Amino acid sequence: MRPSGRLPRPGDDTGAAGRIGVPAPVLELLRAGRSRLALLSLVETTTLAALAAAAVYAVAAAARRLLPYADSLPDRSAAFAIAASLFVVGVAIGVWRFLRNPPALIEVARSADRRFGLDELFATVIDLDRGAASGEPDSPVVQALLREAERRARSLRPTPLAPVRAPKPAWLLPVLIAAGYLLTPVPHATPALADERNALLAASRAILNADATDASAGVRAAAVVLSEAARANEDAYLTAIANAIFDLAERLATGELESIDAEMELADLLEHVENASNAGELAQLNSGSPAGPGAEAPSSGQPAESTPGATQDAPAQQPESGNAMAAGETSPGAEPSPDAAARLALEALIEEAERRIAQESENQAMSAAGPAQDAGDAESATSSDSPGTPGTPDNQALASIRMETNPDLSGSPAATPGSEAGTMAQIPFDEEYLAEYYDEYYAELLAELVNPTRMPLSMRSALGVAQVPIELPPETRPTATRDNAVTTSAWRQTDEDPVPTGDIGLAHRDVASRYFQSLIERPEVDPAP
């Protein structure tokens, strides 16, 4: 007697000839098991694909953390896109492989035998059915075997056959995701950079709104901004530069320093600012710390009190500074993007400072040119070789150009047709010089300051190198590694010494920082070259 409830002929389902007719409960159990195996395979494939994607993302994040200036590394969104693509491709491959080669019923039967401890019961039945095992369908032993298989199949559930659970390496997934999130530098650095830019924007507006008649005010405002950045960054180097700019403003205000000299000195100091800013950005990105100059944005009430070396009246001379900063912070909708706004603000800041210095120079030049013209002694004015002396050709040219570009000065004596200053204003050298020096150089410099990632890798690698022309004894501490080695040749003994660019590396910043820290402790030493 045949067991009851058999499916007629499994045929193509098992790849069998259907010789004996597998009992229906056995077939149902095995088919359900096959479906669960498919689901399990999908879960495993998905997990592995997710693991691979998370690993790729974490590695990319770690690489960007370790090599923040490597332009070839993918950024956050690119790494995410790569990981997502990997995940999708992995899942697709898994599904394709399963659909292309699904497990045969005999394999499911063997798996069921192992799982349920049946010692090849189902596998023997399936093999008999597909002719892989010899046995007469009407044999009493085969009939007894089928009855036994049917009885066991009725008592079994397919769930334990292929329990759907995450594969063992799945525990790595949250670890990799957490690592990728924690190692990603961009989300942490962006707010700090935005704060810094907003602070600079607000401070520059304050300068623009400051008293336009005082040339030293712009310089002092720049010093205030710089000292705030130095304080927030705890950067002794920047602090020393800010102090030097404060000192410059004081000397300019007291007349101790001529405008043309002040302009040159300011340019030198701004060069230091460039290096210090780049170094600060680099240090921030290297450390991964979100703290930056903008982490504590300058508030209206305390712009410079805590800055070492800052003049006591600096805050008092910037009454609009706080208001402008507040206005800048409370009306973000009226501002352009942070990058562009900060760049424009800094450009305006420096241009305003230079404009005021130039205006002082013009005033001085015009006041000096008047008596000279009255005396008819033009030769004495042109033969002077002191670049800072009022009335020199350079200064007259500057004044002329300023008058041309500034209609407010059109009524001044220097713009009078036929005057000597007006003739000198047509010298093309000055135009070229100004255009190159003020526009291109500062525009590029400021763009790089605002967005250091625009700098080429070689320039970033050379940050801090040779921009501090100071006389220091050679570094004596043992510096073994290639990156922080400081050689004797790295130090400029005089201003004429060539600028080293190759073998100092980032350690130079630390040395310079210690040097300026010592200057703060010994203020009688001038940090400027």
Q: Please report how close the Cβ of residue 132 comes to other proteins at its closest, in angstroms.
A: 4
- What DSSP letter does each residue of 357-373 carry, written as one string? HHHHHHHHHHHHHHHHH
Does residue number 145 form part of the binding site for other proteins (CB under 8 A)?
yes
133: alpha, beta or left, given left = phi > 0 and alpha = psi -120 to 50?
A: beta
**Considering only residues 56, 123, 229, 345, which one is a binding residue for other proteins as defined by CB under 8 A?**
123
> Which residues 32-51 are close enough to bind other proteins by CB under 8 A?
none
Q: Which region, judged by CB under 8 A, interacts with other proteins, from 65-73, 139-147, 214-222, 296-304?
A: 139-147
Residue type, 40: L
In the complex with other proteins, the residue whose CB is nearer, 123 or 201, is 123
> Which residues 238-277 are close enough to bind other proteins by CB under 8 A?
none
Q: Please report how close the Cβ of residue 104 comes to other proteins at its closest, in angstroms.
A: 12
Q: Please report how close the Cβ of residue 182 comes to other proteins at its closest, in angstroms.
A: 39
Burial status of residue 9 (CB atoms within 10 A of its CB: 0-12, 13-18, 19 or more) = middle
Q: Please report how close the Cβ of residue 26 comes to other proteins at its closest, in angstroms.
A: 13
φ, ψ at 210 (rounded to 5°):
-75, 175
> Which residues 345-374 are close enough to bind other proteins by CB under 8 A?
none
Q: Please report how close the Cβ of residue 183 comes to other proteins at its closest, in angstroms.
A: 39
**Considering only residues 62, 95, 133, 291, which one is a binding residue for other proteins as defined by CB under 8 A?**
133
In the complex with other proteins, the residue whose CB is nearer, 106 or 358, is 106
Does residue number 112 form part of the binding site for other proteins (CB under 8 A)?
no
**Considering only residues 138, 385, 471, 496, which one is a binding residue for other proteins as defined by CB under 8 A?**
138
**Considering only residues 71, 136, 234, 408, which one is a binding residue for other proteins as defined by CB under 8 A?**
136
In the complex with other proteins, the residue whose CB is nearer, 144 or 443, is 144
Does residue number 135 form part of the binding site for other proteins (CB under 8 A)?
yes
Q: Please report how close the Cβ of residue 33 comes to other proteins at its closest, in angstroms.
A: 17
Q: Which region, judged by CB under 8 A, interacts with other proteins, from 91-99, 128-136, 318-326, 484-492?
A: 128-136
Give dist(CA 403, CA 358) in Å, integer: 10
Residue type, 295: A
φ, ψ at 72 (rounded to 5°):
-75, -15
**Considering only residues 8, 12, 100, 140, which one is a binding residue for other proteins as defined by CB under 8 A?**
140
CA distances in angstroms from 151 to 23, 110, 118, 146, 220, listed in the order given: 10, 17, 12, 8, 96
Q: Please report how close the Cβ of residue 95 comes to other proteins at its closest, in angstroms.
A: 24
Nearest to 87 by CA among 63, 110, 57, 122: 57
Q: Which residue has the tokens 């491709």?
A: 89
**Considering only residues 6, 36, 110, 197, which one is a binding residue for other proteins as defined by CB under 8 A?**
110
In the complex with other proteins, the residue whose CB is nearer, 119 or 471, is 119
Contact (CB, 8 A) for 237 and 190: no
**Considering only residues 114, 151, 165, 514, which one is a binding residue for other proteins as defined by CB under 8 A?**
114
> Which residues 439-498 are close enough to bind other proteins by CB under 8 A?
none
> Which residues 77-106 are close enough to bind other proteins by CB under 8 A?
106
Does residue number 142 form part of the binding site for other proteins (CB under 8 A)?
yes
Q: Please report how close the Cβ of residue 91 comes to other proteins at its closest, in angstroms.
A: 26
Does residue number 144 form part of the binding site for other proteins (CB under 8 A)?
yes
Residue type, 520: I
23 bridge partner residues: 6
Residue type, 369: A
Nearest to 368 by CA among 350, 352, 345, 391: 391
Give dist(CA 173, CA 44) in Å, integer: 13
Nearest to 446 by CA among 332, 325, 355, 350: 350
CB crowding 282-318: b at 16 or more within 10 Å, else e: bbbbeeeebebbbbebbebeebbeebbbbbeebbebb
Does residue number 377 form part of the binding site for other proteins (CB under 8 A)?
no
The number of residues that bind other proteins (CB under 8 A) is 26
Q: Please report how close the Cβ of residue 102 comes to other proteins at its closest, in angstroms.
A: 19
Sign of the Cα pseudo-torsion (209, 213, 217, 222, in order): positive
Q: Is 432 helix (H, G, I), strand (E, B) or coil?
A: helix
Q: Which residue has the tokens 């530098």?
A: 185
Sign of the Cα pseudo-torsion (15, 20, 26, 28, in order): positive
Q: Which region, judged by CB under 8 A, interacts with other proteins, from 125-133, 268-276, 448-456, 501-509?
A: 125-133
Contact (CB, 8 A) for 246 and 227: yes
Q: Please report how close the Cβ of residue 134 comes to other proteins at its closest, in angstroms.
A: 7
Residues forming contacts to other proteins in the complex (CB under 8 A) are 106, 110, 114, 118-121, 123-125, 127-128, 132-136, 138-145, 148
